Chain A
Amino acid sequence: MRNKWVKRSIYIAILLAIFVGYPWYNIANPADATVARGLMPENVIKYGQDHLVLWGAAILVATAIGVAAGILISRPQFRFVAPVVVNIANIGQTVPSIGVLAIFMGLLGMGFSTAVFALIVYGILPILRNTYAGMITISPGIIEASRGMGMTPYSILRRIELPLALPVITAGIRTSSVMIVGAATLATFIAAGGLGAIIVTGLSVMRDQLFYTGAVMAASLAILLDYILWIIEEEAQA
């Protein structure tokens, strides 16, 4: 028990150390003036912040919408639309992340809020699909037993259906989170900042120290966030 948390803390500490230490070292030891310009501390911090805000806002809103919509289409009254919605979600999922960002740029113009909006839409799909799948795979006998005992529809949802579907829903949230962190790295293409900016700048001026810094930060952050969600998922199931 203790052991488990010690291991988890060590893992998180290592990832945090990479996420902070690697750029720190490169900021302190730039190879030339171009790298130094690309790695101005306030910019690096700003991009990191952007990235976290993009991810946080998108995953929160996508979870809220995705879970709500998933519950809605699993209700008997709306179940007839479910196949359509799930199919649209599946098709939407095949559009590449950069394509989603670009399409929303066409609709809403460039900028941070467009990126948030695109990431939300992109992130809803797996959550919606998993919520729905988690709901409809609950054995009908269990639902009928709870109805037969006189539980209200709200109690059944809160006490029976959501807890039973929770593992599937959290798996969906994790998938969505990975997708959003990855897509947030591309937000820079529509002028929304994020850690991708450091990589793209580095690639365009061909300074490997620069794009390496961005890549390592983006990768370690993505792994860290996924790991934290994994811990939440594990604890929720226990």
Chain B
Amino acid sequence: MELLYSMGHYFMLAASSNPQEGEPWFFEPFFAYLVRRWDRILVMTLEHFELILVATAIAIAIGVTVGVIISYYEPIAYPVINVTQVLMTIPSIAMIAMLIPLFGIGFNNGVAALVLYMLLPLVRNTYTGIREIEPAVLESAKGMGMSELRVLTKIKLPLALPVIMAGIRVAVVLGVGIGAIAAYIGAGGLGSLIFNGIERVNYPMIWTGAIFISIIAIVLDLILGWGEKRLYRY
């Protein structure tokens, strides 16, 4: 009951346009904050992008390689995918803490944690993408005398690309959100705004962090989704 009451109270405040009735709590301070600290927000946005970019690049390299390898060694495919699935269920702050002995505190730790979370969609999609290719296609490629390496690079990977791309998309959107937590151990990015905002009880700061992270995720999702659709053309 108390919960509902206080929620209602806040919404009433939000709705009231008359400043005398209560402090304006959302739009005015939010935009004021954006205008005042736009340079800092920009830097953090760039940091966030940097974190995602580096982590995605490494995760693609590892994830696609692992996906390709397990497509050749069927018996280890499910165990490997299961391990990546278990990694994904670990709470992010616990993951970051457990990586400290290896990567210390800061950017590297954030990248490592993100890479581990991104593995599942990449490994799984690479594997299924290759597995789902028509056997007849592969047979005819081999029949034409292509070496296994050429079959992989010229036939398998290009045909699996749309599915891998879908995995990249899931991984990136996931990474944007988890990147916020990495800010806690000094990996930088927009998550710092949320953590600092909580500490200083500065709501415009929290909202800025949350909204900007959400926008980045949506924009990247749209761009990658568009790219994925183009790949599906043939």
Contacts and interface: CB of A to CB of B under 8 A. Distances in A.
Interface of A: 91, 94-100, 102-103, 105-109, 113, 117, 178, 181-182, 184-186, 189-190, 195-196, 199-200, 202-203, 208, 211-212, 214-216, 218-219, 222-223, 226
A226 B89 contact: yes
Interface string B178-217: 1111001100000100110110000100110111011001
A108 B98 contact: no
B10 interface: yes
B89 A98 contact: no
A98 B98 contact: no
A208 B100 contact: yes
A14 to B, nearest CB: 12
B213 A95 contact: yes
A219 B100 contact: no
Contacts of B207: 103, 106
Contact of A99 (B94, B210, B221): B210
Contacts of B35: none
Contacts of B95: 215, 219
Contacts of A211: 97, 100
A28 B210 CA distance: 41
A218 B180 contact: no
A216 B94 CA distance: 7
Interface residues of B, number: 44
B177 A97 contact: yes
Q: Is the interface of B mostly helix, strand, loop or mixed?
A: helix
B231 interface: no
Nearest to A99: B210
B19 interface: no
Contacts of A195: 94
Top 7 A-B pairs ranked by shortest CB distance?
Answer: A99-B210, A94-B217, A96-B180, A185-B91, A215-B94, A215-B97, A218-B94
A178 B88 contact: yes
A107 B13 CA distance: 11
B146 interface: no
A223 B195 CA distance: 26
Interface centre among B2, B97, B98, B210 (most CB of A within 10 A): B97
29 contacts: A94-B176, A94-B213, A95-B210, A95-B211, A96-B177, A96-B194, A99-B213, A102-B197, A102-B206, A102-B209, A102-B210, A106-B207, A107-B7, A108-B7, A109-B6, A113-B3, A184-B91, A189-B195, A189-B198, A195-B94, A196-B91, A199-B97, A200-B93, A203-B97, A208-B100, A212-B98, A216-B98, A222-B89, A226-B89
B206 A196 contact: no
A106 B10 CA distance: 9
Contact of B194 (A102, A200, A202, A222): A102
B92 interface: yes
Contacts of B92: 182, 185
B10 to A, nearest CB: 5
B214 A91 contact: yes
Interface centre among A189, A195, A200 (most CB of B within 10 A): A189
A102 B214 contact: no
B104 to A, nearest CB: 11
B61 interface: no
